[in-house]
């Protein structure tokens, strides 16, 4: 099989495997190079999390009805010599396993992160969001297409502690002039990645 035959998710899995070796050149580069902000997402790495999801059923429609489901996040590994990381979000949709991956890359010159998303339903990298952490809150902004039009997109990472964290996604409602939160993830630590705790979620839906 040639590289062109590999799906994006399979290629990402290879990157994770290469980055996980403590003696690899990437791991050594990570240890030898320090930059403020580079460790912002270290709280996720190498851990497994139960994720309670609250998803707005209709976006930018004035709706307050939500759908709730659980998932498991395998907190991931460093890639790109420690300048990036990847995690694995596992859930179930319509009785079928769903897998999503976040890819994050840190620019030491700007001290800002870019974040991409890819999943098994649509294995194409989404447009990035970009941002940084200030006072313990990570704010990341970008755009995506919703119902045929471009909308402003915001990710927030907040309430980060040793065993919990919170992530929020919002679209900007231009008519209201405010952000509408459409997806909340509440993280609860299950254990170290590889402990065998947790399993693929049996939630009713997935984003």
Range of the domain at 74: 3-192
Strand partners, 56: 66
| Residue 201: inside a domain | no
Digitized pLDDT (tens) for each residue of the chain, 207 residues in all: 444 454 555 445 444 445 444 455 555 455 556 789 999 999 999 999 999 999 999 999 999 999 999 999 998 899 999 999 999 999 987 678 889 999 999 999 999 999 999 999 889 898 899 999 999 999 999 999 999 999 999 999 999 999 999 999 999 998 889 999 999 999 999 998 754 333 333 333 333
> Total domain count for the chain?
1
Q: Are 131 and 41 in contact (CB under 8 A)?
A: no
67 falls within a domain? yes
Question: 54: domain CATH number?
Answer: 2.40.128.20
In a domain, 150, yes or no: yes
Classify residue 27: in a domain, yes or no.
yes
200 assigned to some structural domain? no
Does residue 87 sit within a domain? yes
In a domain, 145, yes or no: yes
**Kind of pairing, strands 149-158 and 137-146?**
antiparallel
CA distance 43 to 160: 8
Instruction: State the Cα–Cα distance between residues 4 and 177, nearest whole angstrom.
Output: 44
Whether 76 maps to a domain, the answer reads yes
């Amino acid at each position: 099989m040639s590289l062109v035959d590999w799906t994006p998710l399979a290629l990402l899995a290879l990157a994770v495997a290469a980055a996980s070796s403590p003696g690899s050149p990437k791991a050594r580069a990570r240890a030898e190079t320090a930059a403020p902000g580079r460790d912002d997402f270290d709280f996720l790495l190498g851990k497994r999390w139960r994720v309670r999801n609250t998803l707005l059923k209709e976006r930018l429609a004035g709706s307050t009805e939500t759908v709730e489901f659980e998932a498991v996040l395998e907190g991931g590994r460093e890639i790109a010599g420690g300048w990036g990381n990847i995690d694995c979000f596992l859930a179930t949709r319509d009785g079928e396993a769903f897998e999503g991956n976040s890819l994050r890359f840190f620019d030491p010159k700007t001290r800002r992160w870019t974040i991409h998303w890819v999943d098994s339903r649509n294995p194409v990298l989404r447009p990035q969001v970009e941002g940084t952490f200030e006072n313990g809150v990570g704010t990341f902004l970008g755009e995506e297409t919703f119902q045929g039009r471009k909308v402003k997109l915001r990710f927030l990472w907040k309430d980060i502690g040793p065993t919990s964290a919170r992530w929020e996604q919002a679209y900007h409602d231009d008519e209201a002039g405010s952000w509408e939160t459409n997806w909340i993830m509440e993280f609860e630590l299950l254990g170290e990645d590889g402990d065998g705790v947790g399993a693929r979620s049996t939630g009713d839906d997935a984003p």
